[in-house]
Structure 1
Amino acid sequence: MSVQPHPADSAPPEFLQLAAHPVRWRLLTELARSDRGVSELTQRLGEPQNLVSYHLGKLRDGRLVAARRSSADRRDTYYGLDLARLGDLLSAAGGALHPGLRLSRPLREAPPRRARVLFLCTGNSARSPMAEALARARSGGAVEAVSAGSHPRPLHPNALRVMREMYGLDLAAHASKPLQAYADQSFDYVISLCDRVREVCPEFPGDPQTVHWSLPNPATGEPDEVTYPLFQETAAELARRIDFLIAALADRAPAA
């Protein structure tokens, strides 16, 4: 009687082979928490910069990590993780062993206790007010989200439009605020959304988790109709990242 080969007899998925290297796994772990530069990753891993750069290159080739030039200093590069793609790859890898191992946990499971999150960008006119509205709506109110900017400007018309058209959210009442408005308040997470504001972000009381999402500014100064697609891309990226943030908050132990 011939023995039919089982799928598990084949080579492991390429994703697992790529991620299994200890240095690459540590890089993925760091980038799952926050976008980071090479020098920062070198410090956190305690490895030589050439080794870190080599393994980042491998992860980029495998489309697990993306790179973007810093808007604060064009000589620097921020690396970030596509968590949605990684989730799909992990689910597929589990499913290759058994259908029951495919990931099925809902991303937006409500956090066990109310969480406070502060979103920061330069103008508090586009990225951070959109993030604030999305975090509130997509958590069902379980996230108390606020936003501020280092140099506040009026809400951009495309931020108002994209939130209304893509997510049914109204930002008309948004009033841009300076960082100092929240200087004495405690948060669970402080999330910077642009590279410039990360450089000037003050320390907040209560030892919050500090996270950086290196997102380009969709307000490029061009006409609104030209930049609207950029606002759509930014809003979609914020929604993806916020869903994973909500999952991280839901994973916390309930308050005693």
Structure 2
Amino acid sequence: MTSAHQAAPAFVRLASHPLRWRLLTELATSDLRVRELAALTGEPQNLVSYHLRLLRDEGFVVATRSSFDGRDSYYHLDVNRCADGLAGTGAALHPALRLAPAPQAPLPVEPVAVLFVCTGNSARSPAAEALLRHHTAGRVAAHSAGTRPRPCLHPHTVRALRDRYGVDLSHKRPTDLNTLTGHRFDYVITLCDKARETCPEFIDQPRRMHWSIPDPAAAGGSGPDGYPAFLRSTADIESRIRCLLPMLVPTVTKENPR
């Protein structure tokens, strides 16, 4: 028989449910815990957990154990898996609906200011800052800082950015978050579960986001065996940076110039 009798693709079947679509849209901007998703949706926590499990089973949502409180898990939207699912949905309906890459939208004239925060500002947040600068040719005002900055960047961070992206961080030094609390930012993004809990408020109430990314230094230290963890971490950050770029475009220009 024809494909009309085939089951609906997983993405459309799952995303068509109102609560699951709400969960996907909430996770599209920030990693969140179950109780936070329950509060945002106004639904019981056990119901939210059930629908998250269905999304996890198809790989559209990923869970990582919190490095701040091991009893908690952060849920993260796998944007690439969702893109594949959406593309497959169109192709399953009709060949003419295969998705083509969307044109890259221009960045706003006034630079958007983004601050990345982790604990030591030695691995995750400086990598995010460097990669955002790299992908926007400096047209975004990218910064990073740590709640308890280390004396210097982790050598594997410097090596991973140089080897994989050709970015030189050898002269960068960690920054104390306390020195930036009076600055204006459009986005403040925490990459560390511990930093999320201690990150202060900023003037003008920037958009707050969280990326729950494990500390690569915890996987093997400075020895050779620890380097692959930094490659995985920077790859995860780079993927998230690419997903962040379209969100920076519609930022409303402030009335007062920077």
The normalised TM-score by structure 1 is 0.92
**Residues 162-173 of structure 1: pairs in structure 2 closer than 5 A:** 162-173=160-171
How far residue 38 of structure 1 moved from its aligned partner, in angstroms, is 0.8
**Separation in 2 of the partners of 1:248 and 1:183?**
23
CA offsets, 1:208-228, max 9 Å, x none? 110000000001253431111
Shift, 1:99, TM fit: 3.9
For residues 197-242 of structure 1, the C-alpha deviation after alignment (integer angstroms, 9 at most, x for no partner) is 0000101112211000000000125343111100000111111100
Could you tell me how far apart the structure 1 residues matched to 2:223 and 2:104 are?
32
Match status 1:74 vs 2:36: no
Identify the residue that residue 199 of structure 1 maps to in structure 2. 197
Counterpart Cα distance in 2 of 1:104 and 1:183: 42
Unaligned runs of 5+ in 1: none
RMSD: 1.9
Aligned residue number for residue 46 of structure 1:
42
Q: Which piece of structure 1 moves more, 37-46 or 213-222? A: 213-222
Partner of 2:108: 112
Indicate the residue corresponding to 1:224 in structure 2.
223
Q: Provide the rounded CA distance (Å) in 1 between the counterparts of 2:237 and 2:4.
A: 37
Residue 134 (structure 1) aligns with: 131
- Residue pair 1:107, 1:244 contacting (<8 A) in 2 also: no
Partner SS for 1:93: helix
Deviation at 1:254, TM superposition (A): 6.8
Aligned runs of 1:1-256 on 2, under 5 Å?
A: 5=2, 7=3, 10-106=6-102, 109-113=105-109, 114-153=111-150, 154-220=152-218, 222-252=221-251
Equivalent AA in structure 2 for residue 164 of structure 1: R
Q: Secondary structure at the match of 1:219?
A: helix
Distance 2:248 2:173 in 1: 27
CA distance 1:47–1:107, change in 2 (3 Å): farther
Q: What is the CA–CA distance in structure 1 between the aligned matches of 2:226 and 2:53, rounded to whole Å?
A: 31
CA contact (8 A) 1:15 1:89 kept: yes
What is the CA distance between 1:8 and its match in structure 2? 5.1
CA distance in 2, matches of 1:101, 1:251: 26
Do the aligned residues in 2 keep the contact of 1:110 with 1:139 (CA within 8 Å)?
no
Q: Would the aligned equivalents of 1:110 and 1:140 in 2 still touch at CA under 8 Å?
A: no
Does 112-121 or 187-196 show the bigger shift?
112-121
Does the CA-based 8 Å contact 1:128-1:193 persist in structure 2? Answer: yes
Provide the secondary structure at the position in 2 that maps to 1:66: strand
Give the match's secondary structure for 2:245.
Answer: helix
Q: Following TM superposition, by how much is the alpha carbon of 1:96 offset from its aligned partner in structure 2, in angstroms?
A: 2.4
**Take 1:167 and 1:156, find their aligned partners in 2: how far apart are those partners?**
17
Name the SS for the 1:36 alignment partner. coil
Which residues of structure 2 form unaligned runs of 5+?
none
Alpha carbons 2:128, 2:237 under 8 Å: kept: yes
- Aligned residue pairs, count: 252
